[in-house]
Amino acid sequence: MKSKINVFASFCLMVGICLLVGCGAKSEPIGKLAGVEGKVDVKPASAEAFAAAAVQQQVFTGDSIRTSDDAKAEIQLTDNSRIVLSSNTYLEVRNFSEKDLRQMNGIAIYKISPQNKELKIHTPSGMATVLGTTLRIDVSDKETIVSVEEGKVGFSKKPGHQVIIEAGKQYASTAEEDTANNIDPLELEKLFGDGKLAPIINPR
């Protein structure tokens, strides 16, 4: 009798835990791949390898997305924000509930709807923080360049350090001065154009 009571108690405990944590239920998607051109791959958080991406494929927290030569991907988030990845770009959705992304390399344009919490975009050189704006981030192993078309962006190379980049300005993490520079209007139009995005970081 005592054994049956213990088994029943264990069963009730497991049911309670399942109800609390969702019993392995898959998390809600944070968006989808609204556009895919060329070779684009996705690695879900639960997978060990990348697989070919498909248009309308759902994107979840923990996913990594990469584009190859002459490829392009557009992510449409549930809040109607959009992220466009140019060729040879790698993006990790680290924890979207905490508004946490990591762009490891390449070029991405972020068209972010107004947020109630700062979106954090980590790069090897620092972190950009966004509430609602349109910006472009170019990333290499040694440098990050942030260009802002609309709104305002903060960029931090280290804790306690932040440079404010306003619309029409650009900041490079390698700059000696903690100030953003003006972008020529024609150059700004090229930076955020719909065609192939030319890199602005010297590969050498």
Does any domain span residue 84? yes
Q: Would you report the helix, strand and coil content of the chain in percent, each value rounded to 5? A: 15, 45, 45
pLDDT grade, residue 153 (50/70/90)? very high
Q: What pLDDT was estimated at residue 14?
A: 52
Q: Is residue 204 in a domain?
A: no
When pLDDT is cut at 50, 70 and 90, the band that residue 18 belongs to is very low
Place of tokens 């050189």: 125
Asked which of 28-37, 84-93, 194-203 is least confident by mean pLDDT, the reply is 194-203
14 in any annotated domain: no
What is the rounded CA–CA span in Å between residue 148 and residue 129?
Answer: 12
Rounded-to-integer distance, Cα 103 and Cα 48, Å: 19
Q: What is the mean pLDDT of residues 23-39?
A: 83
Provide the residue range defining the domain that includes 67: 26-191
How many structural domains are present in the chain? 1
**pLDDT value, residue 195:** 80
Residue 8 lies in a domain: no
Task: Report if residue 169 sits inside a domain.
Answer: yes
CATH of the domain at 65: 2.60.120.1440
- What tens digit of pLDDT does each residue of 97-110 get? 899 999 999 999 99
Amino acid letter, residue 1:
M
- The answer to the question of residue 81 being in a domain is yes
Contact between 145 and 126 under an 8 Å Cβ cutoff? The reply is: no
Taking the C-alpha atoms of residue 5 and residue 133, their distance in angstroms, rounded to an integer, is 59
In a domain, 68, yes or no: yes
Query: What would the pLDDT profile of 178-194 be if each residue is shown by its tens digit?
Result: 999 999 999 999 999 88
Asked if residue 103 is part of any domain, the answer here is yes
